[in-house]
């Protein structure tokens, strides 16, 4: 049983460039989440999908950010015109709807550095 | 709005001793869930334990137990017989259980270091 995977693990880019991250959830999980974690802080919620539908977006998700989950499987998070303030760890998680706990299983994250 | 507070930025504990990591929360909802996650230096968040707001018993999972005091709005994590591999960041998180809300709100974490 493979866990949540994320690619790339590290990304260094110059300010103003676009970047795209990919997340592959646990295969039977229908919910997928994106979080952002900056140094010394806990993860902050960005958005989540149930199957292919994006059901909630945080105010943190400015119009430069877009997330998709076209077939209800993997998801991509794109940041356009990156800024130095976008430097952070981007975490993806997945869960299975139903059950009492609905714990979210996290991937290893993509660390973004914007120069 | 839901909020999680972890007041211990760092803790040092001797191996084999028990350790308590503090967590207080704020919510106006009656139905919510509390989670603890471990984040080793590799970065991956590992789910440890869950407590529902209506659970009468404190949750336990192996060496982990959750000291849930609802009136005080606290959900402290207790790790018994600490091991070197317990050294990591620990995050308390909450989810308000209402229709459509799936996000976890995390605290700022506690860095635990186990001393041999």
B52 Cβ under 8 Å from any chain A Cβ? yes
Report CB contact under 8 Å: A33, B102: yes
Distances (CA, A) of A37 to A65, B35, B58, B105: 15, 17, 29, 12
Report CB contact under 8 Å: A42, B109: yes
Confidence band, pLDDT 50/70/90 cuts, at residue B98: confident
> Residue A1: what pLDDT?
56
Report CB contact under 8 Å: B102, A55: yes
Report CB contact under 8 Å: A108, B44: yes
Render pLDDT for A48-101 as a digit per residue (tens, 0 to 9): 999 999 998 998 888 999 999 998 899 999 999 999 999 999 999 999 877 667
Closest CB to B106 among A43, A103, A108: A43
Render pLDDT for A8-62 as a digit per residue (tens, 0 to 9): 999 999 999 999 999 999 998 999 999 999 998 999 999 999 999 999 899 888 8
DSSP state of B47: E
- Say yes or no to pLDDT of B56 above 90: no
| Contact of A57 with A3, CB cutoff 8 Å | no
């Amino acid at each position: 049983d493979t866990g949540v995977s994320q690619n790339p693990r590290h990304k260094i880019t110059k300010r103003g460039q676009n970047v795209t991250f990919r997340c592959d959830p646990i295969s039977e999980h229908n919910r997928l989440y994106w979080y952002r974690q900056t140094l010394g802080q806990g993860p902050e919620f960005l958005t989540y999908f149930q199957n292919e539908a994006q059901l909630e977006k945080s105010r943190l998700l400015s119009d430069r950010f877009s997330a998709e989950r076209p077939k209800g499987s993997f998801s991509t998070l794109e940041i356009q015109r990156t800024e130095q303030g976008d430097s952070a760890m981007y975490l993806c998680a997945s869960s299975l709807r139903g059950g009492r706990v609905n714990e979210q299983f996290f991937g290893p994250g993509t660390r973004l550095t914007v120069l | 709005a839901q909020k999680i507070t972890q007041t211990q930025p760092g803790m040092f504990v001797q191996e084999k001793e028990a350790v308590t990591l503090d967590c207080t929360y704020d919510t106006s909802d009656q139905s919510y869930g509390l989670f603890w996650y471990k984040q080793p230096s590799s970065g991956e968040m590992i789910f440890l334990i869950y407590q529902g707001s209506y659970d009468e018993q404190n949750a336990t999972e192996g060496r982990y137990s959750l000291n849930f005091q609802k009136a005080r709005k606290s959900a402290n994590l207790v790790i018994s017989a600490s091991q070197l591999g317990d050294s990591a960041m620990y995050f308390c998180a909450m989810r308000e259980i209402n229709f459509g809300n799936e996000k976890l709100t995390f605290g700022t974490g506690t860095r635990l270091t186990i001393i041999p």
